[in-house]
Amino acid sequence: MIELEIRDSVARIRFAAGDNALNPAFLDDFESALDRAEAAGAGAFITTGSGRFYSTGLDLAWLGGEGREQAGPFLERVHRVFGRVLASPLFGVAAIGGHAFAAGAMLALAHDTCVMREDRGYFCLPEIDLASGQPLTAGMMALIASRLPPRALHEAIATGRRYGGRAAAALGIVQQAYPEEELIAAALALASAQAERDPETRRALKQLLYGPALAALEAPLPNFRTST
């Protein structure tokens, strides 16, 4: 379940499905919200989670059961959604008020900027702890590498460290950490400051800025094992 509210050229998209794991229903709702925001003329959007979670990543229960035979096309769709957010004509702000893990953390990184609650929730790329010969796809790595500073990139990937808000801000993973009661207002302020910029100019610039990452996210996936 995803809730959408548009006010003063900013779309507020709230993930409200518990742990907000990425599965086809989640992606359907998220893309529908983006479609409606663009159609309504919004110039920016923020995403927020619910309760303890921003997003825990891929829905491994679905992938291990009902979605087993759909894993390849589904992961390619996840890549396309990451690319859509990364190159969006709308300025995107991820307001991380709870845990953002694995593909959930990658979704946050695809936004133009992230802010985080300072006293609760972790940002984590835990693939080092997964028993798999292919824990990240090339597209995922390209996205992460395009958005994280070098020091944070190495540490996050090589150690799987869980970053609280203050640590994430200190390393440049998120722009700033805020108390819970200030987080959404800060995200809305950042989004509002960019909402009047020309969307097609923004899209074109992002295509130039993130061309290699977008190409990697669009590339086919001939062989892989889902684990994130």
- Is residue 156 classed exposed, middle or buried when 0-12, 13-18 and 19+ CB atoms within 10 A define those classes? buried
SS3 content of the chain, % helix, strand, coil (to 5): 50, 20, 35
- Judge whether residue 50 has pLDDT over 90: no
**What are 171-207's pLDDT values in tens digits?**
999 999 999 999 999 999 999 999 999 999 999 999 9
pLDDT at 108 over 60: yes
Structural domain boundaries of the chain? Answer: 2-183+196-218
Distances (CA, A) of 27 to 12, 97, 135: 16, 20, 21
If pLDDT is split at 50, 70 and 90, which confidence band does 223 have? low
DSSP string, 112-180: SEEEEESSS--EE--GGGS--S--S-HHHHHHHHHHS-HHHHHHHHHH-PPBPHHHHHHTTSSSEEE-H
Confidence of residue 14 (pLDDT cuts 50, 70, 90): very high
Whole-model pTM: value is 0.95
Q: Specify the pLDDT at position 81.
A: 98
Of 10-19, 52-61, 217-226, the range with the lowest mean pLDDT is: 217-226
* Per-residue pLDDT tens digits for 76-98: 999 999 999 999 999 999 999 99
Query: What is the CATH architecture of 2-183+196-218?
Result: Alpha-Beta Complex (3.90)
For residue 24, the 8-state DSSP code is: H
Per-residue confidence (pLDDT) for residue 177, from 0 to 100: 98
What is the pLDDT, as a whole number, of residue 131? 66
**Does 123 score more than 60 pLDDT?**
yes
Average pLDDT of the residues of the chain:
94
* pLDDT score for 205: 98
* Cβ proximity of 112 and 91 under 8 Å: yes
Range 24-53 average pLDDT: 97
pLDDT at 224: 52
Q: Is the pLDDT of residue 132 over 70?
A: no
